[in-house]
Amino acid sequence: MESGFGSLKHAIEDDSHAYTDLNYRKQNTSDQNAEPTEEEQQQQQQPCTTVEVAASKATNHSTNPCKNEKRLKSANLLNNCRKRMNRLIKKVNLLKKMNKSSCTKCSLPSEIIKHTSKYLSGYALEFFKSQLQLAKIKKKGRRYSDTERAFALSLYFKSARAYDLLSKIFVLPSQRMLRYWLQRMNFNAGWNDYVFQVLKKKAETMNCQDKVCGVAFDAMSLKQGIYYNISRDNIDGFENLGEYGKSNKVATNVMVFMAKGLKRKWKQIFFFFFILV
Protein backbone atom coordinates (compact mmCIF):
# COMPACT_ATOMS: atom_id res chain seq x y z
CA MET A 1 0.00 0.00 0.00
CA GLU A 2 2.81 2.44 0.85
CA SER A 3 4.46 1.83 -2.57
CA GLY A 4 1.11 2.59 -4.30
CA PHE A 5 0.69 5.90 -2.46
CA GLY A 6 4.33 6.84 -3.28
CA SER A 7 3.85 6.25 -7.02
CA LEU A 8 0.65 8.32 -6.92
CA LYS A 9 2.49 11.17 -5.23
CA HIS A 10 5.29 11.16 -7.85
CA ALA A 11 2.70 11.15 -10.64
CA ILE A 12 0.95 14.18 -9.13
CA GLU A 13 4.26 16.08 -8.76
CA ASP A 14 5.22 15.33 -12.40
CA ASP A 15 1.86 16.66 -13.57
CA SER A 16 2.32 19.86 -11.55
CA HIS A 17 5.80 20.47 -13.03
CA ALA A 18 4.50 19.92 -16.53
CA TYR A 19 1.67 22.33 -15.92
CA THR A 20 4.05 25.06 -14.69
CA ASP A 21 6.28 24.57 -17.77
CA LEU A 22 3.28 24.99 -20.03
CA ASN A 23 2.24 28.23 -18.30
CA TYR A 24 5.78 29.54 -18.62
CA ARG A 25 5.80 28.90 -22.38
CA LYS A 26 2.43 30.55 -22.81
CA GLN A 27 3.68 33.56 -20.88
CA ASN A 28 6.73 33.91 -23.15
CA THR A 29 4.58 33.75 -26.29
CA SER A 30 2.11 36.26 -24.89
CA ASP A 31 4.94 38.68 -23.99
CA GLN A 32 5.79 38.91 -27.66
CA ASN A 33 2.22 39.92 -28.61
CA ALA A 34 0.89 41.79 -25.53
CA GLU A 35 2.06 42.37 -22.03
CA PRO A 36 -0.21 40.73 -19.39
CA THR A 37 -1.30 42.48 -16.23
CA GLU A 38 0.16 41.84 -12.79
CA GLU A 39 -2.90 39.79 -11.63
CA GLU A 40 -2.72 37.57 -14.69
CA GLN A 41 0.99 37.01 -14.15
CA GLN A 42 0.37 35.96 -10.53
CA GLN A 43 -2.37 33.52 -11.56
CA GLN A 44 -0.19 32.03 -14.28
CA GLN A 45 2.81 31.72 -11.99
CA GLN A 46 0.83 29.92 -9.23
CA PRO A 47 1.37 26.12 -9.75
CA CYS A 48 -1.55 23.65 -9.56
CA THR A 49 -1.64 21.97 -6.14
CA THR A 50 -1.62 18.18 -5.65
CA VAL A 51 -5.16 18.18 -4.24
CA GLU A 52 -6.58 19.76 -7.38
CA VAL A 53 -4.78 17.26 -9.62
CA ALA A 54 -6.05 14.30 -7.55
CA ALA A 55 -9.59 15.69 -7.63
CA SER A 56 -9.45 16.10 -11.40
CA LYS A 57 -8.26 12.48 -11.80
CA ALA A 58 -11.05 11.25 -9.53
CA THR A 59 -13.69 13.13 -11.57
CA ASN A 60 -12.25 11.73 -14.81
CA HIS A 61 -12.30 8.21 -13.34
CA SER A 62 -15.90 8.51 -12.12
CA THR A 63 -17.19 10.03 -15.34
CA ASN A 64 -15.75 7.19 -17.51
CA PRO A 65 -18.84 5.76 -19.34
CA CYS A 66 -17.24 2.42 -20.34
CA LYS A 67 -16.46 1.43 -16.76
CA ASN A 68 -19.94 2.40 -15.59
CA GLU A 69 -21.53 0.18 -18.24
CA LYS A 70 -19.37 -2.79 -17.19
CA ARG A 71 -20.36 -2.28 -13.56
CA LEU A 72 -24.05 -2.22 -14.46
CA LYS A 73 -23.75 -5.38 -16.54
CA SER A 74 -21.92 -7.25 -13.76
CA ALA A 75 -24.50 -6.12 -11.21
CA ASN A 76 -27.37 -7.33 -13.43
CA LEU A 77 -25.68 -10.71 -13.96
CA LEU A 78 -25.16 -11.10 -10.23
CA ASN A 79 -28.82 -10.34 -9.50
CA ASN A 80 -29.98 -12.83 -12.15
CA CYS A 81 -27.73 -15.55 -10.69
CA ARG A 82 -29.08 -14.91 -7.22
CA LYS A 83 -32.69 -15.13 -8.43
CA ARG A 84 -31.97 -18.39 -10.28
CA MET A 85 -30.26 -19.86 -7.23
CA ASN A 86 -33.23 -18.98 -5.01
CA ARG A 87 -35.60 -20.66 -7.48
CA LEU A 88 -33.50 -23.85 -7.47
CA ILE A 89 -33.38 -23.91 -3.67
CA LYS A 90 -37.18 -23.65 -3.52
CA LYS A 91 -37.54 -26.54 -6.00
CA VAL A 92 -35.15 -28.73 -4.00
CA ASN A 93 -37.02 -28.07 -0.75
CA LEU A 94 -40.34 -28.85 -2.45
CA LEU A 95 -39.01 -32.16 -3.80
CA LYS A 96 -37.70 -33.11 -0.36
CA LYS A 97 -41.12 -32.50 1.18
CA MET A 98 -42.82 -34.56 -1.54
CA ASN A 99 -40.36 -37.42 -1.03
CA LYS A 100 -40.91 -37.44 2.73
CA SER A 101 -44.68 -37.44 2.32
CA SER A 102 -44.56 -40.34 -0.16
CA CYS A 103 -42.27 -42.36 2.13
CA THR A 104 -44.44 -41.83 5.20
CA LYS A 105 -47.52 -43.10 3.37
CA CYS A 106 -45.97 -46.58 2.89
CA SER A 107 -43.50 -46.53 5.77
CA LEU A 108 -45.56 -48.78 8.06
CA PRO A 109 -44.98 -52.54 7.68
CA SER A 110 -48.74 -53.14 7.74
CA GLU A 111 -49.22 -50.95 4.68
CA ILE A 112 -46.39 -52.69 2.84
CA ILE A 113 -47.78 -56.13 3.68
CA LYS A 114 -51.22 -55.02 2.58
CA HIS A 115 -49.88 -54.11 -0.86
CA THR A 116 -47.71 -57.22 -1.22
CA SER A 117 -50.52 -59.61 -0.19
CA LYS A 118 -51.99 -59.06 -3.66
CA TYR A 119 -48.96 -60.71 -5.24
CA LEU A 120 -47.73 -63.19 -2.56
CA SER A 121 -49.52 -65.89 -0.62
CA GLY A 122 -48.82 -68.79 1.71
CA TYR A 123 -45.35 -69.24 3.12
CA ALA A 124 -43.88 -66.66 0.72
CA LEU A 125 -46.00 -63.97 2.36
CA GLU A 126 -45.11 -65.20 5.85
CA PHE A 127 -41.42 -65.16 4.99
CA PHE A 128 -41.75 -61.61 3.64
CA LYS A 129 -43.49 -60.49 6.86
CA SER A 130 -40.76 -62.01 9.01
CA GLN A 131 -38.06 -60.32 6.95
CA LEU A 132 -39.70 -56.90 7.44
CA GLN A 133 -40.00 -57.41 11.17
CA LEU A 134 -36.52 -58.85 11.74
CA ALA A 135 -34.70 -56.30 9.56
CA LYS A 136 -35.33 -53.52 12.10
CA ILE A 137 -34.12 -55.58 15.08
CA LYS A 138 -30.51 -56.09 16.13
CA LYS A 139 -28.93 -59.53 15.84
CA LYS A 140 -28.97 -60.28 19.56
CA GLY A 141 -32.62 -59.25 19.92
CA ARG A 142 -34.10 -61.35 17.08
CA ARG A 143 -36.60 -64.09 17.88
CA TYR A 144 -37.67 -66.73 15.35
CA SER A 145 -40.92 -68.68 15.17
CA ASP A 146 -41.18 -72.46 14.81
CA THR A 147 -41.88 -72.23 11.08
CA GLU A 148 -38.86 -69.98 10.57
CA ARG A 149 -36.67 -72.39 12.53
CA ALA A 150 -37.93 -75.35 10.51
CA PHE A 151 -37.29 -73.52 7.24
CA ALA A 152 -33.75 -72.53 8.31
CA LEU A 153 -32.90 -76.07 9.43
CA SER A 154 -34.25 -77.68 6.26
CA LEU A 155 -32.32 -75.21 4.12
CA TYR A 156 -29.15 -75.79 6.14
CA PHE A 157 -29.40 -79.58 5.78
CA LYS A 158 -29.93 -79.25 2.03
CA SER A 159 -26.72 -77.26 1.51
CA ALA A 160 -24.55 -75.44 4.01
CA ARG A 161 -22.93 -73.32 1.28
CA ALA A 162 -26.31 -72.25 -0.05
CA TYR A 163 -27.33 -71.31 3.49
CA ASP A 164 -24.23 -69.14 3.90
CA LEU A 165 -25.01 -67.35 0.64
CA LEU A 166 -28.67 -66.75 1.48
CA SER A 167 -27.82 -65.57 5.00
CA LYS A 168 -25.92 -62.66 3.43
CA ILE A 169 -29.04 -61.61 1.50
CA PHE A 170 -31.87 -62.45 3.95
CA VAL A 171 -32.20 -62.29 7.73
CA LEU A 172 -31.55 -65.88 8.78
CA PRO A 173 -30.30 -67.40 12.06
CA SER A 174 -26.61 -68.13 12.31
CA GLN A 175 -25.19 -71.65 12.05
CA ARG A 176 -24.23 -71.51 15.71
CA MET A 177 -27.87 -70.85 16.57
CA LEU A 178 -28.97 -73.79 14.41
CA ARG A 179 -26.58 -76.14 16.21
CA TYR A 180 -27.86 -74.83 19.54
CA TRP A 181 -31.45 -75.61 18.53
CA LEU A 182 -30.49 -79.10 17.44
CA GLN A 183 -28.80 -79.76 20.77
CA ARG A 184 -31.90 -78.68 22.66
CA MET A 185 -34.14 -81.07 20.70
CA ASN A 186 -34.56 -84.22 22.76
CA PHE A 187 -34.20 -86.98 20.15
CA ASN A 188 -33.51 -90.31 21.78
CA ALA A 189 -33.48 -93.82 20.45
CA GLY A 190 -36.95 -95.35 20.29
CA TRP A 191 -40.28 -93.52 20.00
CA ASN A 192 -40.18 -89.70 20.18
CA ASP A 193 -43.33 -87.96 21.41
CA TYR A 194 -42.05 -84.62 20.16
CA VAL A 195 -42.09 -85.89 16.56
CA PHE A 196 -45.69 -87.09 16.85
CA GLN A 197 -46.77 -83.70 18.25
CA VAL A 198 -45.24 -81.98 15.24
CA LEU A 199 -46.93 -84.43 12.87
CA LYS A 200 -50.26 -83.81 14.58
CA LYS A 201 -49.99 -80.03 14.12
CA LYS A 202 -48.93 -80.49 10.51
CA ALA A 203 -51.82 -82.87 9.80
CA GLU A 204 -54.35 -80.28 10.99
CA THR A 205 -53.47 -78.08 8.02
CA MET A 206 -53.49 -80.89 5.43
CA ASN A 207 -56.25 -82.35 3.28
CA CYS A 208 -57.43 -85.93 3.61
CA GLN A 209 -55.59 -86.93 0.45
CA ASP A 210 -52.36 -85.25 1.61
CA LYS A 211 -52.45 -87.24 4.84
CA VAL A 212 -52.17 -90.56 3.00
CA CYS A 213 -48.66 -91.88 3.64
CA GLY A 214 -46.54 -95.01 3.76
CA VAL A 215 -43.96 -96.32 6.22
CA ALA A 216 -40.42 -97.06 5.05
CA PHE A 217 -37.45 -98.38 7.04
CA ASP A 218 -33.79 -98.92 6.29
CA ALA A 219 -30.49 -99.62 8.05
CA MET A 220 -27.29 -97.58 7.81
CA SER A 221 -23.82 -98.62 8.93
CA LEU A 222 -21.98 -96.56 11.54
CA LYS A 223 -18.36 -96.11 12.55
CA GLN A 224 -17.76 -97.93 15.82
CA GLY A 225 -16.84 -95.73 18.74
CA ILE A 226 -18.07 -94.20 21.98
CA TYR A 227 -18.04 -90.58 23.12
CA TYR A 228 -19.29 -88.48 25.98
CA ASN A 229 -22.29 -86.22 25.27
CA ILE A 230 -21.75 -83.12 27.44
CA SER A 231 -25.20 -81.57 26.92
CA ARG A 232 -27.05 -84.77 27.97
CA ASP A 233 -24.41 -86.07 30.38
CA ASN A 234 -24.48 -89.46 28.71
CA ILE A 235 -22.12 -91.86 26.92
CA ASP A 236 -23.29 -92.63 23.38
CA GLY A 237 -22.19 -95.34 20.96
CA PHE A 238 -23.56 -98.48 22.63
CA GLU A 239 -26.42 -100.64 21.41
CA ASN A 240 -29.66 -98.84 22.28
CA LEU A 241 -33.21 -100.05 21.56
CA GLY A 242 -34.97 -97.20 23.36
CA GLU A 243 -37.83 -98.48 25.53
CA TYR A 244 -36.70 -102.05 24.85
CA GLY A 245 -33.40 -101.72 26.70
CA LYS A 246 -29.67 -101.12 26.22
CA SER A 247 -26.49 -103.22 26.20
CA ASN A 248 -22.74 -102.75 26.71
CA LYS A 249 -21.94 -103.70 23.11
CA VAL A 250 -20.77 -101.03 20.65
CA ALA A 251 -23.37 -100.41 17.91
CA THR A 252 -22.47 -100.87 14.26
CA ASN A 253 -25.77 -99.95 12.54
CA VAL A 254 -28.80 -97.71 12.98
CA MET A 255 -32.33 -98.73 11.96
CA VAL A 256 -34.61 -95.86 10.90
CA PHE A 257 -38.41 -95.85 10.37
CA MET A 258 -39.91 -93.04 8.30
CA ALA A 259 -43.39 -91.87 7.24
CA LYS A 260 -43.57 -90.56 3.66
CA GLY A 261 -46.49 -88.94 1.86
CA LEU A 262 -47.85 -90.71 -1.20
CA LYS A 263 -49.55 -87.77 -2.94
CA ARG A 264 -47.88 -84.79 -1.33
CA LYS A 265 -44.10 -84.67 -0.90
CA TRP A 266 -43.31 -84.87 2.80
CA LYS A 267 -41.41 -87.26 5.07
CA GLN A 268 -40.66 -87.55 8.76
CA ILE A 269 -38.58 -89.95 10.89
CA PHE A 270 -40.54 -91.19 13.91
CA PHE A 271 -38.54 -94.16 15.24
CA PHE A 272 -34.87 -95.27 15.26
CA PHE A 273 -32.54 -97.47 17.33
CA PHE A 274 -28.89 -98.55 17.36
CA ILE A 275 -28.06 -102.21 16.88
CA LEU A 276 -25.08 -104.53 16.58
CA VAL A 277 -25.02 -106.63 13.39
Domain check: are 110 and 129 in the same one? yes
Whether residue 79 lies inside any domain: the answer is no
Percent of the chain with pLDDT over 70: 73
Of 63, 83, 98, the residue that ends a domain is 63
Sign for the CA dihedral angle at 22, 27, 29, 33 comes to: positive
Counting the structural domains of the chain, the total is: 4
Computed over every residue of the chain, the mean pLDDT equals 75
Whether residue 92 lies inside any domain: the answer is no
User: What is the tens place of the pLDDT at every residue in 185-235?
Assistant: 777 888 877 788 778 877 887 888 888 999 999 988 888 888 887 777 888
Percent of the chain with pLDDT over 90: 5
Q: Is the pLDDT of residue 167 over 70?
A: yes
Domain check: are 204 and 263 in the same one? yes
Instruction: Assess contact for 272 and 189: CB atoms under 8 A.
Output: yes
Whether residue 74 lies inside any domain: the answer is no
Domain check: are 212 and 260 in the same one? yes
pLDDT for 4 equals 44
Whether residue 101 lies inside any domain: the answer is no
Expressed as residue numbers, the domain containing 263 is 190-275
Instruction: Assess contact for 50 and 10: CB atoms under 8 A.
Output: no
- Residue 189, φ and ψ in degrees, nearest 5: -65, 140
Whether residue 112 lies inside any domain: the answer is yes
User: What is the tens place of the pLDDT at every residue in 102-122?
Assistant: 655 545 667 777 777 777 777
Q: Is the pLDDT of residue 30 over 50?
A: no
pLDDT for 214 equals 92
pLDDT for 21 equals 54
Instruction: Assess contact for 174 and 167: CB atoms under 8 A.
Output: yes
